[in-house]
Amino acid sequence: MKHAFARAVLASLPLLAAYPAHAQEAPEGQPAAEEPIVVTPVAVYPAAGLMNGHTHDGGEFMIGLRYTRNSYSGANQSGTDTVSDAEVLAAGYTVSASKMSMDMVMLDLMYAPNDTLTFMVMPHWMRHEMTMVGIDPSNTGMPMDGMDMGGMDMGDMDHGHHGMAFGQSMTHSTQGFGDTLVSVSYRLANTPGFKAHAALGVWAPTGKVDRKNADGTFAHYMMQSGSGTWDIEPALTVTGQSGMIGYGAQASYRWRTDDANESGFAFGDKAQVSGWVSYLVDSGFSLTSRLTWEHEGQILGHYNGPHNHRTPSDIQANYGGDTVLAGFGANIALPVGGRHRPQIGVEVGVPLYQDLNGIQLPEDWRASVSLSQTF
């Protein structure tokens, strides 16, 4: 029996900033007293690409909106090596992906009933788009066979982009609501110089896993908007601050509790470790730099209905691997609202190292933009 580990996503913790205030004038004839400083803390969240990484004081409510885009293109990769179309064809595939993108829009709702616990609900919407190209010189455009129909012999049925002629390209997409994260965070430490919290999240399978192509076959595994499994995601986040410098680390994993979903498969477990530093340029404005390691296992199981085997994206072994990314960002607390100011965050990440299972498109970059307000 298998279990899947997972990805966790998480986030960071506030950098505390301070505002110096003006001093009162000394009475005439008396020496000026040392200026008193009035400190107003402002929480600046470090990285827009992190999720569920901060907590709130009792009674606070936060609403946030986040957009993330991941882009993949170029030559396919196996392990750490680039593979040509000829090598992909020699591995038994007649169609290959040339580029892909994944867009996600996430709604963050957080509430702290007291100073110890913070609850979060995060529904999200996602869209996948992939461009395929025919790589078999012997395919002149006639219908092709070779599709696994779950025991059914479909003969020479036209399989859409899976029967593409050599050099022909086609772009297709799927979109819809993904899984929903519900989590609770428990504060372990909460001092001005050091903060820590543990989080336990549950992913509810609200996304679809039965999306199909026009010919009735299942779409590529990664183009399903949900996992179809109940997943558990524990995480631990620690942050610190010394003067204008902030730092932090986070570790998490997403464990798939089921061996297979209603469509016959389960995505691999995901694990993630991040470390970051930040610099408070000015009160309410910080720059961040983050290094992240991500691991994802291969897909377990197999589609239990009609599906194709002509592209690497159709095969479970061509999913997952290890990636190391460098992220750079900026965070701004807008000059309105007092202590709870609206915040905008931007982060761009680029892979430094990718060791991919099977044959896959490598990731080029990812970017995140966030907007949040605490009440």
* Sequence ranges of the domains in the chain: 15-24+33-374
Amino acid (one-letter) located at 19? Y
Give me the pLDDT at residue 10, please: 33
pLDDT band at 146 (very low <50, low <70, confident <90, very high): very low
Contact (Cβ atoms closer than 8 angstroms) between residue 349 and residue 48: no
Instruction: From 253, 233, 250, select the one nearest 291 (Cα to Cα).
Output: 250
The pTM of this model reads 0.82
Which has more confidence, 150 or 83?
A: 83
pLDDT digits (tens, 9 = 90+) for 183-213: 999 999 999 899 999 999 999 999 999 999 9
Four-point Cα dihedral 345, 373, 119, 292, nearest 10: 0
Secondary structure E strands in the chain: 15-17, 42-44, 61-73, 76-79, 81-83, 95-111, 117-122, 124-134, 169-177, 180-190, 194-204, 231-242, 245-256, 265-266, 270-282, 285-296, 300-301, 321-333, 343-360, 363-374
What is the number of alpha carbons within 13 Å of residue 140 lying toward its C-beta?
A: 0
Given a cut of 50, whether residue 288 has pLDDT beyond it is yes
Give me the pLDDT at residue 339, please: 77
Residue reference for tokens 């179809």: 228
Top CATH class of 15-24+33-374 equals: mainly beta
**HEC sequence for 165-227:** CCCCEEEEEEEEECCEEEEEEEEEEECCCEEEEEEEEEEECCCCCCCECCCCCECCHHHCCCC
Instruction: From 65, 33, 20, 7, select the one nearest 203 (Cα to Cα).
Output: 7
Given a cut of 90, whether residue 98 has pLDDT beyond it is yes
Q: Which residues contact 93 (CB under 8 A, 6 or more apart)?
A: 135, 310, 311, 312, 359
**Rounded average pLDDT over 118-145:** 88
Instruction: From 185, 44, 167, select the one nearest 94 (Cα to Cα).
Output: 167
Given a cut of 70, whether residue 150 has pLDDT beyond it is no
Residue reference for tokens 């570790």: 251
Instruction: From 48, 16, 65, select the one nearest 328 (Cα to Cα).
Output: 48
- Alpha helical stretches, state H, the chain: 85-90
Contact (Cβ atoms closer than 8 angstroms) between residue 296 and residue 320: yes
pLDDT band at 45 (very low <50, low <70, confident <90, very high): low
pLDDT band at 49 (very low <50, low <70, confident <90, very high): confident
What are the beta bridge partners of residue 203?
A: 181, 231
What is the number of alpha carbons within 13 Å of residue 306 lying toward its C-beta?
A: 17
